[in-house]
Amino acid sequence: MRTVLAILFWLFTALIVWTQLGYALALAVLARFARLTAEPSSASLPPLSLIVAAHDEQSVIAAKVENALALDYPRELLELIVACDGCSDATAAQAREAGADAVLELPRGGKIRAQDAAVRVARGEIVAFSDANALWQPDAARALVGAFADPQVGYACGQVRFVQAARGEAATNQEGLYWRYEMTVRSYESRLRSITAGNGAIYATRSEAYLVLDPIMGHDLSFPFNMVKHGWRAVYVPSARAEEKMVPSIEGEFARKRRMMSHTWPIVLRGGMLSPRGYGLGYGLMILSHRILRYATPALHAIVLVANLLLVIEGAGVLYAITLALQLGLLAAAALGGAVQVRPLLLARYYVLTTTSLAAGLWDWLRHGTAASWDAAEGTR
Protein backbone atom coordinates (compact mmCIF):
# COMPACT_ATOMS: atom_id res chain seq x y z
CA MET A 1 0.00 0.00 0.00
CA ARG A 2 2.80 2.42 0.94
CA THR A 3 4.55 1.74 -2.37
CA VAL A 4 1.39 2.46 -4.35
CA LEU A 5 0.84 5.71 -2.44
CA ALA A 6 4.44 6.77 -3.01
CA ILE A 7 4.14 6.08 -6.75
CA LEU A 8 0.93 8.11 -6.95
CA PHE A 9 2.43 10.94 -4.94
CA TRP A 10 5.60 11.31 -7.01
CA LEU A 11 3.94 10.66 -10.37
CA PHE A 12 1.24 13.28 -9.92
CA THR A 13 3.65 15.73 -8.30
CA ALA A 14 5.85 15.38 -11.40
CA LEU A 15 2.86 16.07 -13.66
CA ILE A 16 2.01 19.25 -11.73
CA VAL A 17 5.60 20.47 -11.90
CA TRP A 18 5.79 19.61 -15.60
CA THR A 19 2.65 21.46 -16.65
CA GLN A 20 3.33 24.50 -14.46
CA LEU A 21 7.07 24.90 -14.99
CA GLY A 22 8.89 22.02 -16.71
CA TYR A 23 7.03 22.39 -19.99
CA ALA A 24 8.00 26.05 -20.30
CA LEU A 25 11.64 25.29 -19.52
CA ALA A 26 11.69 22.48 -22.10
CA LEU A 27 10.23 24.81 -24.75
CA ALA A 28 12.81 27.46 -23.90
CA VAL A 29 15.62 24.97 -24.46
CA LEU A 30 14.14 23.70 -27.74
CA ALA A 31 13.49 27.24 -28.95
CA ARG A 32 17.20 28.05 -28.62
CA PHE A 33 17.90 25.51 -31.33
CA ALA A 34 14.96 26.44 -33.55
CA ARG A 35 15.72 28.26 -36.77
CA LEU A 36 15.12 31.95 -36.12
CA THR A 37 13.11 33.85 -38.69
CA ALA A 38 12.01 37.44 -38.81
CA GLU A 39 8.36 38.15 -38.16
CA PRO A 40 6.68 38.07 -41.57
CA SER A 41 5.18 41.25 -42.92
CA SER A 42 3.07 41.81 -45.97
CA ALA A 43 4.35 44.31 -48.51
CA SER A 44 0.85 44.77 -49.99
CA LEU A 45 -1.78 44.91 -47.27
CA PRO A 46 -4.93 42.84 -47.84
CA PRO A 47 -8.47 44.07 -47.15
CA LEU A 48 -9.13 43.69 -43.42
CA SER A 49 -12.46 43.41 -41.62
CA LEU A 50 -12.25 44.17 -37.90
CA ILE A 51 -15.20 42.72 -35.99
CA VAL A 52 -16.26 43.80 -32.52
CA ALA A 53 -19.01 41.73 -30.90
CA ALA A 54 -20.73 43.78 -28.21
CA HIS A 55 -23.50 43.32 -25.66
CA ASP A 56 -24.58 46.49 -23.85
CA GLU A 57 -21.22 48.22 -24.28
CA GLN A 58 -22.40 51.84 -24.48
CA SER A 59 -19.79 52.89 -21.92
CA VAL A 60 -16.84 51.87 -24.10
CA ILE A 61 -18.01 51.32 -27.68
CA ALA A 62 -17.36 54.87 -28.94
CA ALA A 63 -13.78 54.76 -27.66
CA LYS A 64 -13.32 51.34 -29.27
CA VAL A 65 -14.57 52.55 -32.66
CA GLU A 66 -12.33 55.63 -32.48
CA ASN A 67 -9.38 53.43 -31.55
CA ALA A 68 -10.04 51.09 -34.49
CA LEU A 69 -10.41 53.90 -37.00
CA ALA A 70 -7.14 55.45 -35.80
CA LEU A 71 -5.14 52.31 -36.64
CA ASP A 72 -2.22 52.68 -39.01
CA TYR A 73 -3.99 50.78 -41.78
CA PRO A 74 -5.23 52.22 -45.08
CA ARG A 75 -8.78 53.36 -44.47
CA GLU A 76 -9.97 52.07 -47.83
CA LEU A 77 -8.78 48.58 -46.86
CA LEU A 78 -10.21 48.61 -43.32
CA GLU A 79 -13.79 47.65 -42.63
CA LEU A 80 -15.09 48.02 -39.06
CA ILE A 81 -18.13 45.95 -38.12
CA VAL A 82 -19.84 46.18 -34.73
CA ALA A 83 -22.09 43.17 -34.10
CA CYS A 84 -24.57 44.07 -31.36
CA ASP A 85 -25.62 40.93 -29.52
CA GLY A 86 -29.09 41.72 -28.24
CA CYS A 87 -28.10 45.15 -26.95
CA SER A 88 -30.72 46.92 -24.83
CA ASP A 89 -28.78 50.16 -24.48
CA ALA A 90 -27.30 52.75 -26.86
CA THR A 91 -24.41 50.59 -28.12
CA ALA A 92 -25.64 50.47 -31.73
CA ALA A 93 -26.41 54.19 -31.95
CA GLN A 94 -23.08 55.17 -30.43
CA ALA A 95 -21.15 52.81 -32.72
CA ARG A 96 -22.79 54.39 -35.78
CA GLU A 97 -22.20 57.91 -34.50
CA ALA A 98 -18.51 57.10 -33.85
CA GLY A 99 -18.07 55.97 -37.48
CA ALA A 100 -18.36 52.18 -37.66
CA ASP A 101 -18.78 51.00 -41.26
CA ALA A 102 -21.49 48.50 -40.38
CA VAL A 103 -23.54 47.95 -37.24
CA LEU A 104 -25.52 44.72 -36.97
CA GLU A 105 -28.41 44.66 -34.51
CA LEU A 106 -28.89 40.99 -33.72
CA PRO A 107 -31.06 39.03 -31.30
CA ARG A 108 -29.22 37.78 -28.20
CA GLY A 109 -27.38 34.64 -29.24
CA GLY A 110 -23.99 35.03 -27.61
CA LYS A 111 -20.64 36.38 -28.76
CA ILE A 112 -19.84 33.51 -31.14
CA ARG A 113 -23.09 33.82 -33.10
CA ALA A 114 -22.63 37.59 -33.32
CA GLN A 115 -19.15 37.03 -34.74
CA ASP A 116 -20.51 34.46 -37.19
CA ALA A 117 -23.08 36.97 -38.45
CA ALA A 118 -20.43 39.62 -38.92
CA VAL A 119 -18.12 37.27 -40.82
CA ARG A 120 -20.96 36.47 -43.25
CA VAL A 121 -21.16 40.11 -44.33
CA ALA A 122 -17.45 40.95 -43.99
CA ARG A 123 -15.57 41.84 -47.18
CA GLY A 124 -12.03 41.44 -45.88
CA GLU A 125 -9.58 38.79 -46.96
CA ILE A 126 -8.53 38.75 -43.30
CA VAL A 127 -11.12 38.93 -40.52
CA ALA A 128 -9.85 40.24 -37.18
CA PHE A 129 -11.65 40.26 -33.85
CA SER A 130 -11.44 42.31 -30.70
CA ASP A 131 -13.32 42.92 -27.48
CA ALA A 132 -15.17 46.19 -26.97
CA ASN A 133 -12.94 47.15 -24.04
CA ALA A 134 -9.63 46.25 -25.71
CA LEU A 135 -7.63 49.12 -27.22
CA TRP A 136 -5.11 48.33 -29.97
CA GLN A 137 -1.78 50.05 -30.48
CA PRO A 138 -1.69 52.04 -33.76
CA ASP A 139 0.54 49.51 -35.54
CA ALA A 140 -1.27 46.42 -34.20
CA ALA A 141 -3.35 45.71 -37.31
CA ARG A 142 -0.34 45.84 -39.64
CA ALA A 143 1.64 43.55 -37.35
CA LEU A 144 -1.20 41.06 -36.98
CA VAL A 145 -1.96 40.95 -40.72
CA GLY A 146 1.74 40.57 -41.46
CA ALA A 147 1.67 37.05 -40.04
CA PHE A 148 -0.50 35.95 -42.97
CA ALA A 149 2.28 36.63 -45.44
CA ASP A 150 3.19 33.05 -44.50
CA PRO A 151 0.70 30.96 -46.53
CA GLN A 152 0.67 28.27 -43.84
CA VAL A 153 -0.76 30.62 -41.21
CA GLY A 154 -4.50 30.47 -40.77
CA TYR A 155 -4.78 32.11 -37.34
CA ALA A 156 -2.77 34.76 -35.53
CA CYS A 157 -3.23 36.35 -32.14
CA GLY A 158 -1.45 39.35 -30.70
CA GLN A 159 -0.20 40.32 -27.29
CA VAL A 160 -2.74 41.65 -24.80
CA ARG A 161 -1.51 43.47 -21.72
CA PHE A 162 -3.86 43.42 -18.75
CA VAL A 163 -3.83 46.65 -16.78
CA GLN A 164 -5.11 47.12 -13.25
CA ALA A 165 -8.19 49.33 -13.25
CA ALA A 166 -8.34 49.74 -9.47
CA ARG A 167 -5.81 50.86 -6.90
CA GLY A 168 -5.27 50.11 -3.23
CA GLU A 169 -7.05 47.31 -1.41
CA ALA A 170 -9.28 46.45 -4.38
CA ALA A 171 -6.31 45.81 -6.68
CA THR A 172 -5.30 42.30 -5.58
CA ASN A 173 -5.50 40.40 -8.86
CA GLN A 174 -2.19 38.82 -9.94
CA GLU A 175 -3.35 37.95 -13.45
CA GLY A 176 -0.91 40.37 -15.04
CA LEU A 177 2.08 38.44 -13.71
CA TYR A 178 0.65 35.08 -14.79
CA TRP A 179 -0.26 36.45 -18.22
CA ARG A 180 3.29 37.61 -18.90
CA TYR A 181 4.49 34.09 -18.16
CA GLU A 182 1.77 32.64 -20.39
CA MET A 183 2.73 34.92 -23.28
CA THR A 184 6.34 33.79 -23.00
CA VAL A 185 5.26 30.16 -23.25
CA ARG A 186 3.11 30.94 -26.29
CA SER A 187 6.00 32.67 -28.01
CA TYR A 188 8.00 29.43 -27.69
CA GLU A 189 5.07 27.35 -28.97
CA SER A 190 4.63 29.66 -31.95
CA ARG A 191 8.30 29.46 -32.86
CA LEU A 192 8.36 25.66 -32.64
CA ARG A 193 4.97 24.78 -34.14
CA SER A 194 1.65 26.44 -33.23
CA ILE A 195 0.14 27.99 -30.13
CA THR A 196 -2.36 25.98 -28.06
CA ALA A 197 -4.66 28.90 -27.16
CA GLY A 198 -5.25 32.51 -28.13
CA ASN A 199 -7.04 35.48 -26.61
CA GLY A 200 -10.17 37.45 -27.40
CA ALA A 201 -8.65 40.92 -27.36
CA ILE A 202 -6.65 40.75 -30.59
CA TYR A 203 -6.68 37.90 -33.13
CA ALA A 204 -7.41 37.22 -36.79
CA THR A 205 -8.01 34.45 -39.29
CA ARG A 206 -8.10 34.13 -43.03
CA SER A 207 -11.71 34.44 -44.12
CA GLU A 208 -11.39 31.06 -45.84
CA ALA A 209 -10.12 29.45 -42.62
CA TYR A 210 -12.84 30.83 -40.32
CA LEU A 211 -14.62 28.08 -38.37
CA VAL A 212 -18.27 28.04 -37.32
CA LEU A 213 -18.41 26.44 -33.87
CA ASP A 214 -20.87 25.47 -31.20
CA PRO A 215 -21.82 28.86 -29.67
CA ILE A 216 -20.69 27.83 -26.16
CA MET A 217 -17.18 27.03 -27.44
CA GLY A 218 -15.14 30.22 -27.60
CA HIS A 219 -12.62 31.05 -30.31
CA ASP A 220 -9.78 31.60 -27.80
CA LEU A 221 -9.32 27.89 -27.17
CA SER A 222 -11.14 26.24 -30.09
CA PHE A 223 -9.54 28.03 -33.02
CA PRO A 224 -5.80 27.27 -32.55
CA PHE A 225 -5.99 23.48 -32.25
CA ASN A 226 -8.74 23.20 -34.85
CA MET A 227 -6.68 25.30 -37.27
CA VAL A 228 -3.85 22.79 -36.85
CA LYS A 229 -6.27 19.93 -37.51
CA HIS A 230 -7.29 21.70 -40.74
CA GLY A 231 -3.69 22.02 -41.91
CA TRP A 232 -2.99 25.61 -40.84
CA ARG A 233 -0.54 27.09 -38.35
CA ALA A 234 -1.75 29.17 -35.42
CA VAL A 235 0.84 31.76 -34.40
CA TYR A 236 1.52 34.41 -31.78
CA VAL A 237 2.53 37.91 -32.92
CA PRO A 238 3.94 39.80 -29.91
CA SER A 239 4.39 43.02 -31.88
CA ALA A 240 0.60 43.22 -32.37
CA ARG A 241 -0.28 44.78 -29.03
CA ALA A 242 -3.53 45.55 -27.25
CA GLU A 243 -4.48 46.64 -23.76
CA GLU A 244 -7.45 45.59 -21.63
CA LYS A 245 -8.57 46.20 -18.07
CA MET A 246 -8.48 43.15 -15.84
CA VAL A 247 -10.80 42.22 -12.99
CA PRO A 248 -9.56 44.18 -9.94
CA SER A 249 -9.64 41.44 -7.30
CA ILE A 250 -8.44 37.84 -7.08
CA GLU A 251 -11.96 36.83 -6.09
CA GLY A 252 -13.30 38.51 -9.22
CA GLU A 253 -10.69 36.67 -11.27
CA PHE A 254 -11.88 33.40 -9.73
CA ALA A 255 -15.45 34.16 -10.86
CA ARG A 256 -14.25 35.14 -14.36
CA LYS A 257 -12.16 32.00 -14.79
CA ARG A 258 -14.96 29.85 -13.39
CA ARG A 259 -17.25 31.20 -16.09
CA MET A 260 -14.54 30.73 -18.73
CA MET A 261 -13.96 27.13 -17.67
CA SER A 262 -17.64 26.30 -18.05
CA HIS A 263 -17.04 27.10 -21.73
CA THR A 264 -13.64 25.40 -21.81
CA TRP A 265 -14.60 21.95 -20.54
CA PRO A 266 -17.04 21.29 -23.42
CA ILE A 267 -14.18 22.04 -25.83
CA VAL A 268 -11.83 19.70 -23.99
CA LEU A 269 -14.25 16.81 -23.48
CA ARG A 270 -16.42 16.89 -26.60
CA GLY A 271 -15.02 19.61 -28.84
CA GLY A 272 -12.18 17.61 -30.38
CA MET A 273 -9.22 18.65 -28.24
CA LEU A 274 -8.69 15.14 -26.85
CA SER A 275 -8.55 13.60 -30.32
CA PRO A 276 -4.93 13.51 -31.53
CA ARG A 277 -5.97 13.24 -35.18
CA GLY A 278 -4.32 16.00 -37.19
CA TYR A 279 -1.92 17.13 -34.46
CA GLY A 280 1.34 15.39 -35.18
CA LEU A 281 3.48 14.19 -32.30
CA GLY A 282 5.03 17.53 -31.33
CA TYR A 283 1.81 19.52 -31.24
CA GLY A 284 0.00 16.66 -29.52
CA LEU A 285 2.55 16.84 -26.70
CA MET A 286 2.02 20.60 -26.50
CA ILE A 287 -1.74 20.13 -26.12
CA LEU A 288 -1.22 17.47 -23.47
CA SER A 289 1.33 19.52 -21.53
CA HIS A 290 -0.12 23.01 -21.75
CA ARG A 291 -3.85 22.34 -21.91
CA ILE A 292 -5.03 18.92 -20.74
CA LEU A 293 -2.66 18.57 -17.79
CA ARG A 294 -3.18 22.23 -16.85
CA TYR A 295 -6.93 21.77 -16.72
CA ALA A 296 -6.50 18.55 -14.74
CA THR A 297 -4.40 20.33 -12.09
CA PRO A 298 -7.14 20.42 -9.39
CA ALA A 299 -7.48 16.62 -9.56
CA LEU A 300 -3.69 16.20 -9.58
CA HIS A 301 -3.36 18.37 -6.48
CA ALA A 302 -6.14 16.47 -4.69
CA ILE A 303 -4.48 13.11 -5.39
CA VAL A 304 -1.09 14.40 -4.25
CA LEU A 305 -2.53 15.82 -1.02
CA VAL A 306 -4.48 12.67 -0.10
CA ALA A 307 -1.56 10.36 -0.96
CA ASN A 308 0.81 12.56 1.05
CA LEU A 309 -1.52 12.56 4.07
CA LEU A 310 -1.86 8.78 4.01
CA LEU A 311 1.90 8.36 3.69
CA VAL A 312 2.42 10.52 6.77
CA ILE A 313 -0.20 8.55 8.70
CA GLU A 314 1.63 5.34 7.75
CA GLY A 315 4.93 6.80 8.98
CA ALA A 316 6.63 6.80 5.59
CA GLY A 317 9.36 9.21 6.67
CA VAL A 318 10.30 12.79 7.37
CA LEU A 319 10.38 13.73 3.66
CA TYR A 320 6.63 13.22 3.37
CA ALA A 321 6.05 15.24 6.54
CA ILE A 322 7.94 18.11 4.88
CA THR A 323 5.99 17.86 1.59
CA LEU A 324 2.70 17.77 3.50
CA ALA A 325 3.74 20.84 5.46
CA LEU A 326 4.54 22.63 2.20
CA GLN A 327 1.12 21.82 0.75
CA LEU A 328 -0.72 22.89 3.90
CA GLY A 329 1.46 26.01 4.00
CA LEU A 330 0.34 26.94 0.48
CA LEU A 331 -3.31 26.61 1.49
CA ALA A 332 -2.72 28.61 4.67
CA ALA A 333 -0.94 31.35 2.74
CA ALA A 334 -3.83 31.50 0.27
CA ALA A 335 -6.32 31.86 3.11
CA LEU A 336 -4.21 34.54 4.79
CA GLY A 337 -3.87 36.38 1.49
CA GLY A 338 -7.51 37.36 1.77
CA ALA A 339 -6.66 39.58 4.73
CA VAL A 340 -2.95 40.43 4.42
CA GLN A 341 -2.11 41.99 1.07
CA VAL A 342 1.55 41.18 0.53
CA ARG A 343 2.76 39.78 -2.80
CA PRO A 344 3.77 36.24 -1.69
CA LEU A 345 0.41 35.68 0.01
CA LEU A 346 -1.50 37.21 -2.90
CA LEU A 347 0.33 34.95 -5.34
CA ALA A 348 -0.54 31.91 -3.22
CA ARG A 349 -4.18 33.01 -3.09
CA TYR A 350 -4.24 33.64 -6.83
CA TYR A 351 -2.81 30.19 -7.57
CA VAL A 352 -5.17 28.32 -5.25
CA LEU A 353 -8.31 30.17 -6.35
CA THR A 354 -7.60 30.06 -10.08
CA THR A 355 -6.72 26.37 -9.82
CA THR A 356 -9.98 25.78 -7.95
CA SER A 357 -11.85 27.67 -10.67
CA LEU A 358 -10.92 24.91 -13.14
CA ALA A 359 -12.87 22.38 -11.09
CA ALA A 360 -15.68 24.85 -10.32
CA GLY A 361 -16.21 25.48 -14.04
CA LEU A 362 -16.44 21.75 -14.69
CA TRP A 363 -18.98 21.39 -11.89
CA ASP A 364 -21.08 24.25 -13.33
CA TRP A 365 -21.10 22.73 -16.81
CA LEU A 366 -21.98 19.23 -15.60
CA ARG A 367 -24.67 20.53 -13.26
CA HIS A 368 -26.59 22.94 -15.48
CA GLY A 369 -24.81 23.27 -18.82
CA THR A 370 -23.37 26.47 -20.28
CA ALA A 371 -25.22 29.39 -21.84
CA ALA A 372 -23.94 30.80 -25.11
CA SER A 373 -24.15 34.37 -23.79
CA TRP A 374 -22.59 36.07 -20.80
CA ASP A 375 -22.12 39.51 -19.31
CA ALA A 376 -18.85 41.40 -18.99
CA ALA A 377 -16.83 40.79 -15.83
CA GLU A 378 -17.31 43.49 -13.21
CA GLY A 379 -14.63 46.17 -13.19
CA THR A 380 -13.32 45.57 -16.72
CA ARG A 381 -15.16 48.48 -18.40
pLDDT the model gives residue 74? 96
Domain annotation covers residue 371 = no
User: Does position 36 have pLDDT exceeding 70, yes or no?
Assistant: no
For residue 303, how far is the Cα from the chain centroid? 27
DSSP state of 240: E
Percentage above 70 pLDDT, the chain: 94
Q: Average of pLDDT values for 33-59?
A: 81
Which pLDDT score is estimated for 176? 80
Going through 165-248 in order, the beta strands assigned E by DSSP cover 203-206, 233-246
Angle CA(178)–CA(183)–CA(185) in degrees, nearest 5?
Answer: 95
Residue 280 lies in a domain: no
The distance of Cα 285 from the centroid of its chain, to the nearest Å, equals: 19
Largest CA distance in the chain: 74
Of 84-98, 170-184, 225-239, least confident by mean pLDDT is 170-184
Residue 170 predicted with pLDDT over 80? no
List Cβ neighbours of 306 (8 Å cut-off, separation of 6 or more).
Answer: none
The pLDDT score that the predictor gives to residue 177 is 85
Contacts of 215 (CB under 8 A, 6+ apart): 109, 110, 112, 113, 372
Walk across the sheet containing 78-85 and list its strands. 102-106, 78-85, 48-54, 126-130, 203-206, 153-164, 233-246, 135-136
Of 68, 147, 153, nearest in space to 103 by CA: 68
pLDDT at residue 381 above 60?
no
User: Residue 355 and residue 264: Cα distance in Å, rounded?
Assistant: 14
Q: Please report which confidence band the pLDDT of residue 39 belongs to, taking 50, 70 and 90 as the band edges.
A: low
| Cα four-point dihedral sign 216, 204, 193, 25 | negative
Average pLDDT, stretch 265-284? 95
Q: What's the pLDDT at 137?
A: 97
245 forms beta bridges with: 163
| 89 belongs to a structural domain | yes
Q: Cβ distance 244 to 143 under 8 Å?
A: no
Would you state the pLDDT for residue 371?
81
- Residue 278 located in a structural domain: no
206 Cβ contact partners less than 8 Å away, ≥ 6 residues apart: 125, 126, 127, 148, 153, 154, 232
Separation between Cα atoms, residue 215 and residue 122, nearest integer Å: 19
Domain count, the chain: 1
Tell me, what's the pLDDT at 172?
82
pLDDT exceeds 80 at position 262? yes
Q: Is residue 111 part of a domain?
A: yes
Residue 53: which H helix or E strand, with range?
strand 48-54
State pLDDT tens for residues 351-377: 999 999 999 999 999 999 888 776 666
In a domain, 210, yes or no: yes
For 272, which DSSP code? S
Give the pLDDT mean for 216-240. Answer: 96
CB 172, CB 247: distance < 8 Å = no
Q: Is residue 97 part of a domain?
A: yes
pLDDT score, position 173:
84
| CA distance between the termini of the chain | 54
Range of the domain at 171: 48-251
Query: Residue 131: which CATH number?
Result: 3.90.550.10
Residue 329 lies in a domain: no
β-strands 48-54, 135-136: how paired? unpaired
Handedness of CA 304, 310, 311, 312 (dihedral sign): positive
CA 167 – CA 179 distance, rounded (Å): 19
Q: What is the pLDDT of residue 40?
A: 55
